Amino acid sequence: MNKYVIKGGNILSGDVSVSGSKNAVLKAIIAACLTADTVEIKNIPLISDLFIMLELVKEIGGKVKLSGHTLKIEVQDIKSVKIPLEIGAKIRTSSIFLAPLLSRKKEALIPNPGGCRIGARPIDRHIEGLIRMGATAKYDSLDGYFHLKTRGLHGSNYKFEKNTHTGTDTLIMAAVLADGRTILENAAEEPEVDDLIALLNSMGAKIKRSKPRTIVIEGVERLHGTTYEIMPDRNEAVTFAILSALTGGKIFIKNVEMQNINGFLSIFKKVGGDWEKKNSGVRFYINKKIKPTNIATAPHPGFMTDWQGPWAIFMTQAGGDSTIHETIYENRFGYVNELTKMGANMRMYSPIVKNPETFYNFNYYNGEKDHMQGLKIHGKTPLHNAVMKVSDLRAGATLVIASLIARGESIIYGVDYLERGYESFDRRLKTLGADIAKTEEEEFLE
Ligand code: EPZ
């Protein structure tokens, strides 16, 4: 496991470019498997999740060629319908291979993507939709695979019971070659879904958003190759924006798509933050006391769950009490224990919610366990160094931000998680003036 050693307190300044979006590129790779032609994808983030997905493309018989930040994928014929457990179980998006496998080979074996550190993350909403489109599905707990078959996917009207970002991605990609029209209702509005729609339409698909949360797909015979540039990463943009505001406000972030982070901008402004746009980018800063506030995460266009970790750090520096109510995942506060080691004054609590079964985006089972979906943060608390361990990707970014503003030298183990979603994070922070070093290290002993 790699570790970061960070000396906090430096003012950071300079330009940083936001990479291509992890949550767009992982689906673009799968979209490329829907055609026998070559698909070229630009603005690829060189993150470990990308390489896992390219392994899977090769496993099903595809050819991949990566040069710099441009990727070429060609899946002339799918030679295997099985996504191997040892690779597939590492990454949530392995389940989306269901779409090209069922569309082109009428069969798919995918490992249960299973829970991870942020929640159960089942794919029941994906499977239900595929069954409506003419697939049969069974989960074999002995081999740990979902077994799906179809005589041919057909169009269907399907309403998601609750928002699902990758569920929407999966059913769009299952519908583009299906026989007839598919109407997806209560479909996700995340901008990464729009990026996928734009890519697929450039490959000859016929997809449009007809009204809010409704997507209409007319099945076509085949898709053709294309060249497509991935959108910038919204999570990176917000991570660097919060970092800038906390370290002197002198970081210019290049290629931020402001329209995709309105859920953050409105709250940032409310607590006293501001930004300046210049040709080289956007500089986020705060020149006054940070005001405390209460937020609840929500599907797009709300405050995104992936932003709440970095936001929690921001609120430790606000003058007063703030809260974060996490409504998307059951276990998204993996960073809290680590931050309390740094002197953060925060504790989890159970917000009173009238109908948790419908209010929460995850599948809520009454009394299953005491859902601590709320975090109370008291500020302003100066943070000091600590030895910490990363629990999940976005919690990792949270610990790095905290260490960069804390007094003293902090050590963060398990930064491999971070590298799943942030390309050369340490190198980019160093160019901004951070005192950060990465070294190989033994597994952190609890
Ligand atoms: C995507 O996850 C992103 N990942 C997540 O980013 C992001 O946090 C999330 O959307 C919300 O925007 C990718 O796109 C690869 P969901 P996804 O399906 O699609 C439950 C990151 O750090 N659910 O919208 O898995 C689910 O468990 C990651 O980049 C079911 O119960 O999110 C979750 O609690 C983290 N059954 C909630 O719904 C289902 O069939 C939202 O899930 C599907 C989802």
Does ligand 1 come within 6 angstroms of the Cβ of 92? yes
Tell me, in angstroms, the distance from the centre of ligand 1 to residue 13's CA.
33
Name the pLDDT band for 116 (thresholds 50, 70, 90). low
Phi, psi at residue 76, to the nearest 5°? -60, -45
- Could you give the CA distance from residue 420 to residue 400 in angstroms, rounded to a whole number? 15
Q: Which atom of ligand 1 is the closest one to the Cα of 123?
A: 40
Per-residue pLDDT tens digits for 180-228? 999 999 999 999 999 999 999 999 999 999 999 999 999 999 999 999 9
Q: What is the pLDDT of residue 280?
A: 73
pLDDT score at 442? 62
Residue closest via CA to ligand 1's atom 42 equals 164
Q: Please tell me which residue in 64, 116, 298, 372 is annotated as part of the active site.
A: 116
pLDDT given for residue 445 in this prediction: 53
Q: Would the pLDDT of 38 be above 70?
A: yes
Give 307 Cα–ligand 1 centroid separation in angstroms. 14
Q: What is the mean pLDDT of residues 311-321?
A: 98
Residue 229 CA, chain-centre distance (Å), reads 18
**114 pLDDT higher than 80:** no
At the topology level, CATH places domain 2-19+232-440 in UDP-n-acetylglucosamine1-carboxyvinyl-transferase; Chain (3.65.10)
CATH of the domain spanning 22-229, picked from 3.65.10.10, 3.40.50.300, 3.40.50.2000, 3.40.50.720: 3.65.10.10
Q: Where exactly does CATH 3.65.10.10 map onto the chain?
A: 2-19+232-440, 22-229
Question: DSSP label at 119?
Answer: B
Judged against a pLDDT cut of 80, whether residue 125 lies above it is answered with yes
C-beta pairs of 361-369 under 8 Å, 24+ apart in sequence? 361/162, 361/163, 361/299, 361/327, 361/328, 361/329, 362/119, 362/120, 362/328, 362/329, 362/330, 363/120, 363/122, 363/124, 363/162
pLDDT of amino acid 369? 63
Nearest CA to ligand 1 atom 38: 362
Please determine, for residue 446, whether its predicted confidence score (pLDDT) is greater than 60.
no
Judged against a pLDDT cut of 60, whether residue 443 lies above it is answered with no
Q: State the Cα angle at 28 between 397 and 217, rounded to 5°.
A: 125
Q: How far apart, in whole angstroms, are the C-alpha atoms of residue 108 and residue 111?
A: 10
**CA-based diameter of the chain, in Å?**
63
221: burial class by Cβ within 10 Å (0-12, 13-18, 19+)?
Answer: exposed
Q: Over range 253-275, report the average pLDDT.
A: 97
Grouping H, G, I as helix, E, B as strand and the rest as coil, residue 336 is helix
pLDDT of residue 253 exceeding 90? yes
Task: Report the residue among 164, 193, 235 best suited for mutation to probe ligand 1: largest number of ligand atoms under 8 A from its CB.
Answer: 164
pLDDT surpasses 70 at 368: no
User: Is the confidence at residue 121, as pLDDT, over 90?
Assistant: no
DSSP letter string over 300-322?
TTSB-GGGHHHHHHHHHTSSEEE
pLDDT for residue 144: 86
pLDDT band at 119 (very low <50, low <70, confident <90, very high): confident
Separation in Å, CA 437 to CA 6, 102, 139, 434: 7, 46, 45, 9
pTM: 0.96
pLDDT tens profile 42-53? 999 999 999 999
Encoded tokens for 351: 């917000």
Residue type at 319 in one-letter notation: G
* pLDDT tens track for 136-163: 999 988 888 999 999 999 999 999 999 9
C-alpha 164 to ligand 1 mean position (Å): 6
Is 33 an active-site residue?
no
Residue nearest to atom 13 of ligand 1 (CA): 23
Q: How many angstroms separate the alpha carbon of residue 421 from the centre of ligand 1?
A: 15
Which atom in ligand 1 lies closest to the alpha carbon of residue 162?
A: 38
Whether 300 and 257 have beta carbons less than 8 Å apart is answered as: no
Whose alpha carbon is nearest atom 24 of ligand 1?
A: 164
169 CA closest ligand 1 atom index: 19
Q: Compute the distance from residue 301 Cα to the ligand 1 centre, in Å.
A: 15
pLDDT confidence tier of residue 118, bands split at 50, 70 and 90: confident
* pLDDT over 70 at 444, yes or no: no
Sign of CA pseudo-dihedral 209, 211, 213, 216: negative
